[in-house]
Structure 1
Amino acid sequence: MKGYEAIALAIQHFSDAPVFGVMGNANMLIFAALSAEGDERLVSARHEAAAVAMADGYARTSGAVGVSTVTSGPGLSQVATSLLAAARYRSPQVLISGDAYRRDSARLQAFDQQAFADTCESGFVPIKRVQDIVPAVHEAFARATLESRPVLLSIPEDLQLEEAAPSVEAELQALARPQRAATPAPRDSEVERVVDLLEAAKYPVFIVGRGCRDEETIRAVRELAEHYGALLATSLPAKGRVDDDEWSIGVSGGFAHTGARELLQRADLVVGCAAGLASYTTDKTTLYPSATTIALDLEQTPESAMLGHDVVLGDVAETVPRLLAAARNRSDVRVNFRGSDEQEHLKTLSAEAAATIDERSDGIHPAAVAETLRKSLPIGAQVVLGGGHFWAFAVMGIHKRPDLRWQFSYQFGSIGQTLPVAIGAWYGDPSRRLVVIDGDGSVLMHIQELDTVARYRIPMTLIVANDGAFGAEVHKLRPAGLTDTIATFDAPDFAAIGEAFGGTGIHVKEDAALASALEQNTGLGRFEVLDVRISGEVPSEPFKRWYYGG
């Protein structure tokens, strides 16, 4: 058995995940070994950065470690943005990269891979001897699991050709897949301290975060919020998880509705349930100006320490039920933030966006697109939303849809990540219909991955919010008194592009056409691209506040 065969065997032993990759000289033997083993999990992307983003999307959706592979040199250097995005999301991934021949005097494609991994906030495991392959692969998967971040596993090309030890299979059989240890429970004194704060609060708010993974935990949060008469909200990654609750205001932070902001700014206590309480969730601390903030989470982040947030360490799935039991022993159900005035106020939130919609000559009003999507998105869809300017309309306008499962690609503040993250997310949960919503500038950055969608017959609906511009930059340049023409373009025909890659393409220039297109069944395995022409003249509500002074 050669070294590359041992690598492939170890991957199959430690993971059931798809292997997303782009082959080159330094990893093609690993590709070949996986293929020779009949591994149908091998997914060939068209760009290395996209392969890493796919593994990221898979990890986010499935909860398992993602796996990707790229070649040496430029194959690896291409993935920096995707690797950083995965690291910022705390997405576990093992990235297997080939490296240049150790004895090659030219070493054209050689560079410091460990320094690269460090810069990308990722772990690094080098394989220096062929007999180290099994323990190194085991270490990479263990660290990805325990550190919740990507780990770069590097193996020189020439080492892959050496004979591996005859004991490889026996070594693998002796090693189990790495598992996380149980999280320590919070101390009784910490539980009582949080209950003391809740007992004293008049206007509490509970924020559900993406760490509230199961319905039982969310149910306990809702019962605790009901006991103390609290409003409910979510962080952006947990969007929609409590949309069916009448006391839910939606997403907390910059994307909170104007009416919701008026309520939230009265809060005197904010409890984050496995939710990041940094600047985005608090809208740079402006959303909760007078509130005590306490986080129930597994760790204290540097930003939470800088902002002075109180932190109770522990698994929220265990912490919240203990808080609920203690609360029921201490007091009866409170009204607090759930009075008749607040109830009437919440009823008006859904009408806010609709009240601002008017006819536009340069395309559909973005809020009208969001409202149509709210009504017409397929039941139970997995929606992957890109960042930029349009996403504010989607986040705020597609509300009260608890059936949807959301995924976002903003973690490194980069556009262009959405399509490959969505492909990986579909592999993580193919039971849900995949809907991708992204801006025209972002889609073009990885447009080649439509070929991957076509080759693997992924039943995807791609909605391109097409304003022929980098919309976020347009709405920053204008209020600054600068020309916006440098951020505008003659938009390509995305419907035609979709058809050229083997899908169907539809031009959408009015609301009714969008609703009709979403209702069409294009057939299993065929993707569709909806080129939705939106107005570029309408700033989103957050941009009005942040840049237009409104």
Structure 2
Amino acid sequence: MKVYAAIAKALSDLGADTMFGLIGDANLFMVDSYIRDCGGKYVGSAHEASCVLMALGYAQVTGKVGVATVTHGPGLTNTLTALIDGTKSSYAMVLLSGDTPAIERDHFQKVSQRELVLATGAGFEQLRTPETLGQDLAMAFRRARVERRPIVFNMPVEFQWQDMEYRKPSYALAEDRAVVPTSPDLDNAIGIIASARRPLILAGRGAMEPEARAAIIRLARRIEAPLATSLRAKGLFSGEPNNIGICGGMSTDLGIETIMSSDCILAFGASLNRYTTGNGSLLKRKRIIQVNLERAEVGKNVEPDAGLVGDPGLTADAIVRWLDEAEIPSSGFCDEALRQKIADWKKPRSVAGTSRAGTVDIRLALNELDEEIPADRLLATDGGRFVGYAWEVFDVQHPRSFMTPLGVGAIGCGLSFGIGVAAAGGGRPTVMVTGDGGFMLGGLTELHSAVRAKMDLIIVVCNDGSYGAEHIQYVNKGVDPSLSIFDWPDFAVVAQAMGCAAVTVANFEDLAAAREAIRGRDVTKPLLIDIKLDPEAIPIRW
């Protein structure tokens, strides 16, 4: 078997059923064999960074290792920002990158690929020889899972047409559900819970698997505690009557009131960073119990009163057993009155309105669209000042249905994430919310990629004709904000020219047409909704 075909088959044997990429002379035959010989699904991108972002989105939704491929030299250098985002967000993916022939010292596309990759924080795994292909690729997949970061698999281009004997690759992962041993910290945690009168449970992405979720809910019911999540665990407790939503800058008024009145926080699988804790303000005068399977996460941002290293679900069940054995009563904090407040809470319908003709209120517009889109949806967002409203308005039913570029805070990544999310959607619609600046930076590049892939993708452009965060800074300092204002092309017309359905919303009446477009959409064609907003009427919400 030729090496390029063996790489394709090894990917298939390792369970990679979908690959994102941009072909070049170092990977084009491998991609062709992956599609034609192995029956793999391939989604092509227009830019190398985009295929990495797509693979990150796919990995988030499926829980699998995301797979992307690019050619050598500038093909790899174009992915660096995306690799940094994947590394900082702890997503498991493998990027198969070509490399220039070692014999050609002066190859014009030769760059220091290993050094560039390692500088992003991603891992690097070399294809050493054709004979070690199976071992090397399996190691890349294993490292991606264990290290929870992108691993670049470096493929010398001179290998691809060599003959080799194929051996099926495999790798094994040890069980990582550690049990919390009897310890002073566990005893201390039980004592803290026993003395708490208003305990609250907070969960992060480290507690989003079904077993952990179920155990944490059992503990919450046992001690009558309200439930909250970090932003990245949005949707984890969807449907629970004691769920107060996100903890941090995105908390609701009811959430803030409940969090501030609590006297103890039990954090499971959450790093307790400054966004979740409101720069520490939400933790004041509270005792903190932090539980995480990753020892390095316990105490990284906040020094807890009791820190437990172990599986969140097993730890929650162990706490319940100790509470039952000691006959410790429930707190009564999440009583019928609080549950009724949670049930009665309604999302705000508007920000402060807008007086500028040809624009609409951002929260009102997003609420209208949210009501039309099926509840079982996937959500991807770009970065920008609009994004807090998208996080607030669009609910999801599980954290794996939610993807946002929090790693480096870059704009322009959202649509690529959305394409990867939609590729894993399994028949569910994907909502992708972006700003106009991010859409021009990266979204427009990949719009036709979504068209080619025939995706049920609803793209909402929050279009205030500006770079919003910069606009606010200019205004706050009394500086003319005109440098932040842009006269963009008509996004609906551009989208239609690229094969999308499209609607422009410039007033309240247009929202009815947008809702109708969502109801009657062709699920094999992306729909773009361009919402015209007033740059002076969008306070930052996060």
TM-score w.r.t. the length of structure 2 is: 0.92
Any conservation in 1 of the 2:291–2:298 contact (CA below 8 Å)?
no
Any conservation in 1 of the 2:259–2:282 contact (CA below 8 Å)?
yes
Q: Does the residue aligned with 1:265 lie in a helix, a strand or coil?
A: helix
Any conservation in 1 of the 2:271–2:297 contact (CA below 8 Å)?
no
Any conservation in 1 of the 2:463–2:531 contact (CA below 8 Å)?
yes
Count of matched residue pairs: 535
CA distance in 1, matches of 2:362, 2:107: 51
1:463 to 460, 473, 488: 460
Is the alpha carbon distance of 1:532 and 1:213 closer, same or farther for their aligned partners in structure 2, counting shifts above 3 Å? same
Any conservation in 2 of the 1:297–1:314 contact (CA below 8 Å)?
yes
CA distance in 1, matches of 2:177, 2:331: 34
**CA shift digits 1:4-25 (9 cap, x unpaired):** 2222221121123311110111
Residue 409 (str. 1) matches residue 408 (str. 2): no
Correspondence for 1:538: 537
CA distance in 2, matches of 1:299, 1:249: 26
Identity %: 25
Equivalent residues in 2 for 1:506-525, closer than 5 Å? 506-511=503-508, 513-514=510-511, 516-518=513-515, 519-525=518-524
**CA shift digits 1:356-394 (9 cap, x unpaired):** 543432521122123324433322111112221111122
Correspondence for 2:526: 527
1:484 to 481, 484, 489: 481
Residue 473 (str. 1) matches residue 473 (str. 2): no
Q: Does the residue aligned with 1:161 lie in a helix, a strand or coil?
A: coil
Correspondence for 1:260: 255
Q: Does the residue aligned with 1:249 lie in a helix, a strand or coil?
A: strand
Correspondence for 1:334: 330
1:291 to 286, 294, 302: 286
> For structure 1, which segment, 135-144 or 234-243, has the greater mean C-alpha deviation from structure 2 after superposition?
234-243
Correspondence for 1:546: none
Q: Which amino acid aligns with 1:128?
A: R
Equivalent residues in 2 for 1:223-262, closer than 5 Å? 223-262=218-257
Correspondence for 2:54: 54
Residue 184 (str. 1) matches residue 184 (str. 2): no
CA distance in 1, matches of 2:508, 2:182: 55
Shift of 1:333: 4.8
CA distance in 2, matches of 1:214, 1:85: 23
Shift of 1:459: 1.4
Shift of 1:308: 1.6
Q: Which amino acid aligns with 1:470?
A: Y
CA distance in 2, matches of 1:463, 1:392: 14
Is the alpha carbon distance of 1:501 and 1:366 closer, same or farther for their aligned partners in structure 2, counting shifts above 3 Å? same
Q: Does the residue aligned with 1:465 lie in a helix, a strand or coil?
A: strand
Is the alpha carbon distance of 1:299 and 1:216 closer, same or farther for their aligned partners in structure 2, counting shifts above 3 Å? closer
Any conservation in 2 of the 1:260–1:349 contact (CA below 8 Å)?
no
Correspondence for 1:107: 107
Any conservation in 2 of the 1:392–1:540 contact (CA below 8 Å)?
no
2:440 to 444, 447, 454: 444
Residue 86 (str. 1) matches residue 86 (str. 2): yes
Any conservation in 1 of the 2:130–2:159 contact (CA below 8 Å)?
yes
CA distance in 2, matches of 1:250, 1:42: 36
Correspondence for 2:135: 135
Q: Does the residue aligned with 1:211 lie in a helix, a strand or coil?
A: helix
Shift of 1:156: 1.4
CA distance in 1, matches of 2:390, 2:48: 29
**CA shift digits 1:209-245 (9 cap, x unpaired):** 2233344532332232233232221111121232433
> For structure 1, which segment, 354-363 or 127-136, has the greater mean C-alpha deviation from structure 2 after superposition?
354-363
Equivalent residues in 2 for 1:35-434, closer than 5 Å? 35-164=35-164, 166=165, 168=166, 171-172=167-168, 175-189=169-183, 190-301=185-296, 304-309=299-304, 310-331=306-327, 333-338=329-334, 342=338, 346=342, 350=346, 353-354=348-349, 356-362=351-357, 363-398=359-394, 402=397, 405-434=401-430
> For structure 1, which segment, 99-108 or 336-345, has the greater mean C-alpha deviation from structure 2 after superposition?
336-345
Any conservation in 2 of the 1:50–1:449 contact (CA below 8 Å)?
yes
Is the alpha carbon distance of 1:515 and 1:375 closer, same or farther for their aligned partners in structure 2, counting shifts above 3 Å? farther
Shift of 1:541: 5.7
Any conservation in 2 of the 1:389–1:472 contact (CA below 8 Å)?
yes
Any conservation in 2 of the 1:498–1:504 contact (CA below 8 Å)?
yes
Shift of 1:340: 6.8
CA distance in 2, matches of 1:453, 1:117: 28
Any conservation in 1 of the 2:436–2:465 contact (CA below 8 Å)?
yes
CA distance in 2, matches of 1:195, 1:302: 21
Any conservation in 1 of the 2:267–2:291 contact (CA below 8 Å)?
yes
> For structure 1, which segment, 5-14 or 518-527, has the greater mean C-alpha deviation from structure 2 after superposition?
518-527
Shift of 1:3: 2.1
CA distance in 1, matches of 2:331, 2:231: 27
CA distance in 1, matches of 2:527, 2:272: 37
> For structure 1, which segment, 76-85 or 475-484, has the greater mean C-alpha deviation from structure 2 after superposition?
475-484
Q: Which amino acid aligns with 1:161?
A: W
TM-score w.r.t. the length of structure 1 is: 0.91
Q: Which amino acid aligns with 2:441?
A: M
> For structure 1, which segment, 107-116 or 321-330, has the greater mean C-alpha deviation from structure 2 after superposition?
321-330
Shift of 1:79: 0.5
Shift of 1:533: 1.0
Is the alpha carbon distance of 1:533 and 1:539 closer, same or farther for their aligned partners in structure 2, counting shifts above 3 Å? closer
Q: Which amino acid aligns with 1:527?
A: P
Any conservation in 2 of the 1:296–1:311 contact (CA below 8 Å)?
yes
CA distance in 2, matches of 1:35, 1:358: 51
**CA shift digits 1:473-521 (9 cap, x unpaired):** 2223322333322212113211112211111110112345335423422
Q: Does the residue aligned with 1:448 lie in a helix, a strand or coil?
A: helix
Stretches of structure 1 lacking an aligned partner (at least 5 in a row):
544-550
Q: Does the residue aligned with 1:279 lie in a helix, a strand or coil?
A: coil
Is the alpha carbon distance of 1:356 and 1:104 closer, same or farther for their aligned partners in structure 2, counting shifts above 3 Å? closer
CA distance in 1, matches of 2:345, 2:482: 35
Any conservation in 1 of the 2:387–2:541 contact (CA below 8 Å)?
no
**CA shift digits 1:39-93 (9 cap, x unpaired):** 3412211111010111111111000111111001100000011111111121111
Stretches of structure 2 lacking an aligned partner (at least 5 in a row):
none
Correspondence for 1:21: 21
Q: Does the residue aligned with 1:354 lie in a helix, a strand or coil?
A: coil
Q: Does the residue aligned with 2:476 lie in a helix, a strand or coil?
A: coil
